[in-house]
Amino acid sequence: MQYMRTDHLRDGEFWRTSAARLLSILLFAGAHADQPLDAVTGWLTSSSSSEVVDILEDAGSAIALQSFDDFAGHRSDSYTGSVRATALTAMQTYEDSRVARRIQAGGLDPDK
């Protein structure tokens, strides 16, 4: 009997989970600063993290600030680059013009 290798599935799940953690921090920062989703995408593509740090400090969320610091300050470039790339892939959903219109109109309603 031949077994299917699942190493790649676990690797993919690791990157998706890491990207989701980063996105949760950035989306929190964006919501606190009343920034559009384009700002989150910009933060993902920028090598500077000072704006996000400033927002998280202003929000007073020690947990979000520590989590972002753990991501941005203590990881290798290859790790952060891979997580950012995975997060950017997730953000592509919001580039669809229909999704963007729904968000601007006040949210996503599955019945519309």
112 residues of the chain, pLDDT tens digit each: 444 455 555 778 888 999 999 999 999 999 999 998 889 999 999 888 899 999 999 999 999 999 999 888 777 888 889 999 999 998 888 777 787 777 777 654 545 5
Nearest to 56 by CA among 77, 70, 75: 70
SS3 category, 19: helix
How many domains in the chain? 1
* C-alpha span between 6 and 64 (Å, rounded): 32
Confidence (pLDDT) at 4: 46
List the one residue out of 77, 33, 39 whose CA is nearest residue 54. Answer: 33
Residue 60, domain extent = 7-100
Q: Does residue 41 sit within a domain?
A: yes
pLDDT at res. 3: 45
DSSP state of 33: T
The pLDDT of residue 25: 95
Q: Measured between alpha carbons, how far is 97 from 94 in angstroms, rounded to an integer?
A: 8
